[in-house]
Amino acid sequence: MNLLKVGRISKVRIVHSRLLAFVVFFILLVCGNRLGNGLKRELVSFAGLGCVIVAAFGRTWSSLYISGRKTSTLVESGPYSTTRNPLYLFSLIGTAGIGLATGSLLILLLLTLSFGLYYPFVIRSEEEGLRKIHGAAFDAYAARVPRFFPKISLYNEPEVCEVNIRQLKKAILDASYFLWIYGALQLIESLHNASILPTLMRLP
């Protein structure tokens, strides 16, 4: 697998994510949730916000280390010393946060199931490309560091990290989408509560 194919996989991943987001937003425009406006709803919403913040900061932190070198350089420090795919790990946390923010168990399951079915394929494809580029070095890294769920005891970080500012700014913008989506969901729920948007049904 060459860098061009890795790039195509990345584009398909983005299209998949945006299509899923469009479907979820369309459903939420006409559907409410069954939690109402009580303490339980506030706690669930707060948990969602916490996940979204962790995801945004985590993706930005991870991007400090790759900074445009995701395939050309084998990064093994910082978050990449505990898991081979910290960006996707934090994306899963953010996805769960968005699901919680909707107040719907059905939407939460839809989002996390979609992630669980699709992203393992993306991860395997990208790692195949890294293995062809870096060979034995990647095999040694893969044997030491878990693919997804982190092993905190492996953590190490360099004293100095070279950062591509342009790529970092792009990464910060990408990470902020979780916060924007969370805000949009809160707005949609407020519009439902004010009867500005119709509530055709309430999702479990």
pLDDT tens-digit profile of 87-137? 999 999 999 999 999 988 889 998 999 888 888 888 998 898 889 888 999
Dist CA 183 CA 189 (whole Å): 10
Q: Which pLDDT score, from 0 to 100, does residue 153 have? A: 95
Please tell me the least confidently modeled range out of 6-20, 35-49, 172-186. Answer: 6-20
pTM above 0.95, yes or no: no
Whole-number Cα distances in Å, 201 to 25, 30, 32, 104, 136: 15, 7, 6, 12, 55
Computed on alpha carbons and rounded to an integer, the radius of gyration of the chain in Å comes to 19
Q: Which pLDDT score, from 0 to 100, does residue 3 have? A: 47
Dist CA 138 CA 131 (whole Å): 6
The answer to whether the CB of 125 falls within 8 A of the CB of 9 is yes
pLDDT tens-digit profile of 20-37? 778 888 888 888 777 767
Higher-confidence residue of 179 and 13: namely 179
Dist CA 69 CA 64 (whole Å): 10
Tell whether the model's pLDDT for residue 191 goes beyond 70.
yes
Domain boundaries, given as residue ranges, for the chain:
3-203
Dist CA 204 CA 199 (whole Å): 13
Tell whether the model's pLDDT for residue 165 goes beyond 70.
yes
Please tell me the least confidently modeled range out of 133-137, 164-168, 186-190. Answer: 164-168
Tell whether the model's pLDDT for residue 72 goes beyond 70.
no
Tell whether the model's pLDDT for residue 143 goes beyond 90.
yes
